[in-house]
Structure 1
Amino acid sequence: MNLRMASFVPVMMLFLIAILSLNASGQDSTSQIVRLIHADSLVGYSSGGNSFRELNGHVLFSQGQTTLSCDRALQNLTTNQVDLFGNVVVHDDTLTLKAKQARYFAKTKTVYCDYGVYLNDTKRTLTADKGDYNSTDKVAHFAGNVFVQDSLSQLFANQLVYYREEGKTFADGDVRIISKENHVTVYGGHFENYEKKKYSMMKLAPVLVQIDTASDGKIDTLMIKSRLMEAFRDTVEERFVATDSVEVIRSELMARCGLGTYFANDSLIVLVSSPVVWYEDNQLTGDSISVYLHNKMVSRVHVVGFAFALSQSDSLYQDRFNQLKGKELTMYLNKKKVERIVVDNNAVSLYYLYDKNKPNGVNKVSGDKVVMYFRDGKIDKISVTGGVEGDYYPEKLIKGEVESYNLDGFRLYTDKPVGADFRKIFR
């Protein structure tokens, strides 16, 4: 009895394994079958060792949750692929893909559209010259005149890869992103968007451009260039962060730094990492520089930490610069003209004097606070308060020794950004 049972168990195990193997094989085979749901007419034939079905009129197929419809289809039963013609529509869950013509491979569950394609995925629509979509991996590839649009933005590119489940998009070649909300356009060569993280980035010569109409009715443009441009949407306030070799141009304002952040809704630009700002004839430097815009125009520039401002005192004497320094400095503007510069905490000023256009020495004054007032781009008067100290150096002392009178921290930068360099990139 024991011997008979011992021999019976292995036989039963082998039988069960065989049955399970057959079921698994049947399931794989079934999952690869493209089922014909409807056609107005069907003609079957064989050619070149392959079996075909030619279908016409309201053709409808399904494979799993994917459905395919068209006006006419040619199904190769041997290779398990279908050529679809006329009003092609593919549905996969919430995704809809449309084309004039397509080819569907059942084994990989991939549809290829080489003659124009349209995609709708509830939140966004896409058009391109050609594309493919894999319903197993939920990945789509598009090429040629790619255009994507949702409620907040538009994207143009030469190529794009869309990962549905991960919620990420990669775009390459003449990429352009337009924000409908704040009228910001970002250009570049490579773009990545991570929807779930509310984060995107642009590489390969990115440039941010925002065109506004100022309160005086004139068109004004903000341009920011860097090696990396990132957008963060994880808070109520969307912010753009430019990193490495940052250049900024806004009307008469130009700037360079290592890291810049633009808060579009607040009209604020924050520059750090060796920032330099030029406005008209004025140069500003410090640890951190914040540029505030009001009514689409620069209203003030705030410098914190080793703040230094300089401007040429007279065009005929190019080595003489009026200078201001302190821990904190603010330049105020009115109608695009510098109105005054205020320096707080350990304020020091150096300004050159002229008598009937002839040099007449230099004044050096320090105090708790220095205010330099301007008229028509030139110094009109200076106000110094709190612990005032001052020295006057006559012309005979400084002639030929001008550089030795510069304040500590003086450095003249001449590498201003050029607007033409920006426009070459996004034309």
Structure 2
Amino acid sequence: MYKIKSLSNSQFRFTLVLFLSILAFSAVSQEKKKVEIIQAGSLQENASIANAQRLIDSVIIKHNDILMYCDSAYTYNGTNRVDAFGHVHINQGDTLHLYAKKAFYDGDNNFAQAIHNVILKNKDITLTTDTLDYDIEQRIGYYDCKGTIVDSTNTLTSQIGKYYLNDDVIHFTDSVKGFDKNYTLSSDDIRYNTTTEVIYLDGPTTIQDSTNTLYAEDGWYNTQTGEANLSVNPKVYNDTQLLTANDISYNKENGDGMATGAVHMEDYENRTIVEGNKVIFNELTEIATATDSAVFIVYNDADSLYLHADTLRTLPDTIEGANVVKAFYGVRFFRNDIQGVCDSLIYYSKDSLVQLHSNPVIWSENHQLNADYIELRQFSNSPDEMHLRRNSFIISKMDSARFDQIKGKDMIGFVINGKLNNVDVDGNGQTLYYARDKEAIIGLNHAESSKIAIRFKEGQIHKISFLTQPEGELKPLVDLTEADKTLSGFEWKIKLRPLSKHDIFRYPTKQSVQPEEEAKEKPAANKRSKE
């Protein structure tokens, strides 16, 4: 005969907790709702399918917050499974309506699959596809056989899609297309917020609006306003212009935009490029301002001009299709045949006109030209012109100790094939040049005349014509003093000269440089095609 062993207090408490837990689990299990048949024309047992019964004609079934309508259905004893056929309509809550030719519903696993002519409607969103898997509890719909989403303005299609109804977000992947009256879209991976109507880019995406094509591999685009933020290889382009950067922000409504990091703006018609690390622009006014390592490039088949300044601004000219570029503070530019510095500069694309203001200095070959104001004009079928206004001074280096010099009020220089060919001096003309007898230097000629015409050959003064009676003298070399070798105002500024397209970013000191201090010759050729 067995004796009942008494329980200790701790053992008794453990046993009681375990017993109550079992009762609670049993109560929850008993409360689990089962599929209810609300309506059916008839009910039939199906001998060929175990535990199955068939409902026919105007079937209505309820399970939790799901109402299902169909022409016929199978239900299965002991489970919450329903196979529905013909005009299937599943309603969840107040907003979701799912339509299909047939559906397989598994209430035990909170899952439904709708098949053939599937339509899911939620608020203002309509999704159509051939097959849709639906997580009832998480309210997530998934398709992988091509689907289309339509709302009040947008239409989006993809091969694969996942609709997060609780978050109002649809994730489209594989062959994504989209459009409305304002844009068309092509992508491999985007997310669409159905409330804000903002598209988030998760892969290579191209968006075409009324004026531009936008490309990026990350960022977002507001389909209602046209506002966008593009990152990872972004670019905005059309038939005549291109903008690339590390990050581009763009508002189509007011035209404002900003590009940061390795910015490249190219104008194909005017053959110009603006680069920098920050560019603020407005598409409507066509004004752009570049700062932080800003560079302006004018390119052609023969050579390219590189110009740097603290601030670069491009704006439309009064002539249609033409641009004006303004450069401010610390201007330095380089081209193989000409280099220069000044404080501010204006470039007119239509006329190929460059205006240099505030302490401008230009170098070409062994010549240095400076004045209060300098203007450069480039022509297609005639010599280029350099206009020097007020306090004009040209220095031509012969060697480290000898310099030919021309000084006057105003000058016009003519450039042929990148070489200074002749200079006309108008007002207060002075010349200081080394006279030659064949190859030998015979002395230093100092002459003054109000109007002078000078011709150059191989970088040196070849012929001088005095249009008014000159005054001057020729001094032999042995009689020269240091004071005789320079005109008043002489200042050889070779240390300021940009030596390459990369050297335009250098900020040299601005002190005068005497001949013996010169360290470098003129820069070597550095031809550049369009980059």
Which of residues 154, 157, 165 in structure 2 aligns to 1:66? 154
Identify unmatched segments of 5+ residues in structure 2. Answer: 1-93, 95-121, 507-529
1:416 is aligned to 2:497? yes
Secondary structure at the counterpart of residue 196 of structure 2: coil
**1:96 matched residue in structure 2:** 184
Which of residues 224, 232, 245 in structure 1 aligns to 2:315? 232
1:145 is aligned to 2:229? no
1:36 is aligned to 2:121? no
Offset at residue 222 of structure 1 (A) = 1.9
Written as runs of structure 1 = structure 2, the 5 A alignment for 1:260-339 is 260-295=345-380, 299-312=384-397, 314-315=398-399, 318-339=400-421
Deviation per residue, 1:158-217 (Å, 9 max, x gap): 22112111112222222222222132233222222211112112222122233323xxxx
Deviation per residue, 1:212-254 (Å, 9 max, x gap): 23xxxxx322222222222111421312222222122223211
Equivalent residue letter for 2:452: V
Q: Is the 8 A contact 1:199 1:234 kept in 2?
A: no
User: Pairwise CA RMSD of aligned residues?
Assistant: 2.8
User: Hey, which of these two has a bigger chunk of strand by percent?
Assistant: 1
**1:209 matched residue in structure 2:** 297
Offset at residue 134 of structure 1 (A) = 2.6
Offset at residue 137 of structure 1 (A) = 5.2
Which of residues 358, 361, 366 in structure 1 aligns to 2:448? 366
1:407 is aligned to 2:497? no
Deviation per residue, 1:235-286 (Å, 9 max, x gap): 2131222222212222321111111222223222221111101111111101
Q: Is the 8 A contact 1:339 1:374 kept in 2?
A: yes
Equivalent residue letter for 2:451: K
Partner Cα separation in structure 1 for residue 352 and residue 367 of structure 2: 22
Which of residues 346, 351, 355 in structure 1 aligns to 2:428? 346
Offset at residue 306 of structure 1 (A) = 1.0
Secondary structure at the counterpart of residue 502 of structure 2: helix
Equivalent residue letter for 1:370: I
Alpha-carbon spacing, 1:77–1:211, altered in 2? closer, same or farther (3 Å)? closer
Equivalent residue letter for 1:205: S
Offset at residue 45 of structure 1 (A) = 2.6
Deviation per residue, 1:146-167 (Å, 9 max, x gap): 2322011122222211211111
Q: Is the 8 A contact 1:297 1:336 kept in 2?
A: no
Q: Is the 8 A contact 1:319 1:402 kept in 2?
A: no
Secondary structure at the counterpart of residue 401 of structure 2: strand
Structure 1, 222-231 or 90-99: larger mean CA deviation: 90-99
**1:15 matched residue in structure 2:** none
Q: Is the 8 A contact 1:320 1:402 kept in 2?
A: no
**2:269 matched residue in structure 1:** 181
**1:127 matched residue in structure 2:** 215
Alpha-carbon spacing, 1:289–1:238, altered in 2? closer, same or farther (3 Å)? same
**1:45 matched residue in structure 2:** 135
Offset at residue 393 of structure 1 (A) = 3.9
Which of residues 150, 171, 174 in structure 2 aligns to 1:83? 171
Offset at residue 350 of structure 1 (A) = 1.6
1:113 is aligned to 2:113? no
Q: Is the 8 A contact 2:308 2:504 kept in 1?
A: no
Identify unmatched segments of 5+ residues in structure 1. Answer: 1-25, 27-31, 214-218
Partner Cα separation in structure 2 for residue 80 and residue 395 of structure 1: 91
Q: Is the 8 A contact 1:198 1:234 kept in 2?
A: no
Equivalent residue letter for 2:488: D
Q: Is the 8 A contact 1:186 1:206 kept in 2?
A: yes
Equivalent residue letter for 2:335: R
Partner Cα separation in structure 1 for residue 293 and residue 407 of structure 2: 35
Equivalent residue letter for 1:416: R
Offset at residue 114 of structure 1 (A) = 0.9
Structure 1, 104-113 or 406-415: larger mean CA deviation: 104-113
Alpha-carbon spacing, 1:151–1:188, altered in 2? closer, same or farther (3 Å)? same
1:250 is aligned to 2:335? yes
Offset at residue 382 of structure 1 (A) = 1.3
Q: Is the 8 A contact 2:201 2:216 kept in 1?
A: no
Q: Is the 8 A contact 1:223 1:250 kept in 2?
A: yes
Which of residues 251, 261, 266 in structure 2 aligns to 1:163? 251
Partner Cα separation in structure 1 for residue 135 and residue 422 of structure 2: 89
TM-score (norm 2): 0.66
Matched length: 385
Partner Cα separation in structure 2 for residue 207 and residue 297 of structure 1: 28
Q: Larger Rg: 1 or 2? A: 2
